Amino acid sequence: EAGVTQFPSHSVIEKGQTVTLRCDPISGHDNLYWYRRVMGKEIKFLLHFVKESKQDESGMPNNRFLAERTGGTYSTLKVQPAELEDSGVYFCASSRLNMGGDEQYFGPGTRLTVT
């Protein structure tokens, strides 16, 4: 069974540009999550999809971030326009169940550098 995959693995962009990150969850996992780790700090929750619906987007930092999951399969996270403080590692995770603690399987992350 393939794990969670993320693309790209690294992205370097200039302040003001747009970047789109992609996550492919494990097949059959209805729950998809985005997290990020900024400047070596703690990993913070961004949002949670159940199929194509946003279940919880309370962790999204501001309206420069837009997440979609059309069709309930893969998800994209777009940052537009990117700012310096957006640099960090963006992780995607998926889980089969949504029961407040089912194991979440994480992807390798996308390292975003905004210069």
Site for other proteins, rule CB under 8 A: 4, 6, 31, 33, 35, 41-45, 48, 55-56, 59, 91, 93, 98, 100-101, 103-109, 111
Residue whose CB is less far from other proteins, 59 or 81: 59
Closest separation between CB of residue 56 and other proteins, Å?
7
Separation between Cα atoms, residue 74 and residue 95, nearest integer Å: 13
Give the shortest CB-105-to-other proteins separation in angstroms: 7
| Strands of the chain, DSSP E | 5-7, 10-13, 19-24, 31-37, 43-50, 53-56, 65-68, 75-79, 88-95, 105-106, 110-114
Q: Which is nearer to other proteins, 17 or 41 (CB)?
A: 41
- Helix (H, G, I), strand (E, B), or coil: what is residue 86? helix
CB 86 to other proteins: min, Å? 19
- What whole-number distance in Å separates Cα of residue 78 and Cα of residue 66? 5
CB of 52 to other proteins, least distance (A): 16
Query: How does DSSP classify residue 15?
Result: T
For other proteins, the closer CB: 65 or 91: 91
Residue 9 or 80: the one with the smaller Cβ distance to other proteins is 9
Residue identified by tokens 């889980």 is 95
